[in-house]
Amino acid sequence: MKVALFIPCYVDAVFPEVGVATLELLERFGVEVVYPLDQTCCGQPMANSGCQKDAAAAEALFVRNFAGFEFVVGPSGSCVHHIRENLTAIAQTAATLKVRRNTFELVEFLHDVLKVRDFPWAEFPHAVGLHNGCASLRSLRTAKMSEIDEPFFSKPLALLSAVKGIRFVTPERPDECCGFGGTFSVSEEPVSARMGYDKVTDHLKAGADYIVSADMSCIMHQQGCAERLGLPIKFIHIAQILNGARE
């Protein structure tokens, strides 16, 4: 199987180790991974600010880079949500629609497409609080949300449960948004930071050593909050744990 790797701009520039873990993890399952070299961003930062015109070039570039692939996989729920639900600043050609249909968030891809459940190389002997980004939770629907009464399911938890030594802790409000929200994090800085403080404190109180997420943008924000507060809690992307990171 051939997969095009989509590494969102902020992962490329700020968290390359998450991109590396995603790549290596896919390779462990025998997937041929191709990284289109001209990729930049999916257009979400501009589109989320209402600036459709400014998002058009990035969206068009994204489609050009990925139109040739049956599977596009990226380690970021909110970017994949944008591509699937909101990549509308450009003409909805056959190529655009194909890319929107074929793009998967990493956890979805592992869980639903590759259908893998075993990660024999993975061991993470720590107490972990799982943070589901809101786009993963309520748009991609990778886990049960607390607002809807439905049978419990959680794709990230199903994968992480196979990791040796891992322990899960549950914060009081597992579904509450952490307050990143893209440009919200700066245009609404007071509320954003307060939400982040509340989020990391909630996990810490539950006894988490680590907060793990499939969304690095939430983590970037939460980590910034925890460091400023001086809280003894660490952060890691789910791809890193599943790829065998020990800490």
Partner 1 sequence: MKRIDHAEASSKFIEATDHLEFHDRRLWDLRQKRDRETVGLAEWEELRTLASAIKEHALTHLADYLEQFERNALRNGATVHWATDAAEHNQIVFDVMHSRGARTLVKAKSMLTDECDMRPFLETRGISVMETDLGERIQQLDNEPPSHIVVPAVHKLRADVAQVFSETIGTDPNNHDVHYLAESQRQHTRPYFLAAAAGMTGANFAVAETGTVVVCTNEGNADLSVNLPPLTIHSIGIEKVIPRIEDVGVFVRMLSRSALGSPITQLTSHFRAPRDGAEMHIILVDNGRSERLGMADFWYSLKCIRCGACMNTCPVYRRSGGLSYGATYSGPIGVIIDPTFNLRKFSSLPFASTLNGSCTSVCPVRINIHEQIYKWRQIIAEKSQLPFVKKEAMRVAGAVLGSPTLYRAAVETAGAGLEHLPRFMMYNRLNAWGRQRELPAAPKSTFRQWYLKNRGQR
Interface with partner 1 (CB under 8 A), residue from 51, 67, 158, 206: 51
Closest alpha carbon to 129 in 229, 200, 212: 212
Interface with partner 1 (CB under 8 A), residue from 25, 26, 31, 45: 45
Question: How far apart (Å, rounded) are the C-alpha atoms in residues 141 and 147?
Answer: 12
C-beta of 39 vs 163, nearer to partner 1: 39
Cβ–Cβ < 8 Å for 72, 6: yes
Considering the rule CB under 8 A, would residue 194 count as an interface residue with partner 1?
yes
- Residues in region 96-125 near partner 1 by CB under 8 A: none
Considering the rule CB under 8 A, would residue 52 count as an interface residue with partner 1?
yes
- Residues in region 221-240 near partner 1 by CB under 8 A: 221, 223-225, 227-228
Considering the rule CB under 8 A, would residue 48 count as an interface residue with partner 1?
yes
Closest alpha carbon to 63 in 87, 35, 79: 87
**Range in contact with partner 1 (rule: CB under 8 A) among 97-105, 121-129, 178-186, 202-210:** 178-186
**Structure-block tokens of residue 30:** 């025998």
Query: Angle 103-145-238 (CA atoms, 0-180°, nearest 5)?
Result: 50
For residue 43, what is the DSSP state? S
Residues present in the chain in total: 247
Considering the rule CB under 8 A, would residue 191 count as an interface residue with partner 1?
yes
Question: How far apart (Å, rounded) are the C-alpha atoms in residues 10 and 75?
Answer: 11
Considering the rule CB under 8 A, would residue 180 count as an interface residue with partner 1?
yes
Cβ–Cβ < 8 Å for 242, 160: yes
Instruction: Fill in the per-residue mask, 130 to 169: x = in contact with partner 1 (CB under 8 A), - = not in contact.
Output: ----xx--xx-----xxxxx--------------------
Interface with partner 1 (CB under 8 A), residue from 129, 171, 174, 179: 179
